[in-house]
Amino acid sequence: MVGNILVGLVALIHCYIVHLEMVLWDTPRGRKAFKLTPEFASASKVLAANQGLYNGFLAAGLIWGLYLGAGGFQIKMFFLLCVTIAGLYGAATVGRKILYIQTVPAALAIVALWLDL
């Protein structure tokens, strides 16, 4: 139960990231979230939307795993590992904040699922 709640939380986080990257990227809210100048936000809007789409695939995979219930264990683990690896890379190359927003919740969900909490 706890593991599935955490998987749902990770999926929701990624749905919000999708919204930030695909819709709000060049708005004041999006620029503040990613610490962007208006010029950079405008110039990188298409790239951000592509990045948002990938985050949407991660969220969709997690939701799919939840939908399958107990039979979705491997799917949930696969997508949580993808989130964890992407979060580690993002934390190393972009900023430490990604570690706490993406990696830690995904890692906690992995542990909770593995321990069948």
For the chain, the C-alpha Rg in angstroms (whole number) is 15
Question: Could you report the per-residue pLDDT of 11-39, keeping only the tens digit for each?
Answer: 999 999 999 999 999 999 999 999 999 99
Q: What is the per-residue pLDDT for 4?
A: 97
Write down the pLDDT at residue 62: 98
Report the alpha-carbon distance of residue 27 to residue 20 in Å, rounded.
9
pLDDT by residue, tens only, the chain of 117 residues: 999 999 999 999 999 999 999 999 999 999 999 999 999 999 999 999 999 999 999 999 999 999 999 899 999 999 999 999 999 999 999 999 999 999 999 999 999 999 987
Q: Residue 92: which of 103, 82, 107, 105 has the closest Cα?
A: 103
Q: What is the pLDDT, as a whole number, of residue 70?
A: 87
Please give the structure tokens belonging to residue 60.
């969709």
What is the pTM assigned to this prediction?
A: 0.92
Total count of domains within the chain:
1
Full residue range of the structural domain in which residue 97 is found: 2-114
pLDDT at 117 (0 to 100):
73
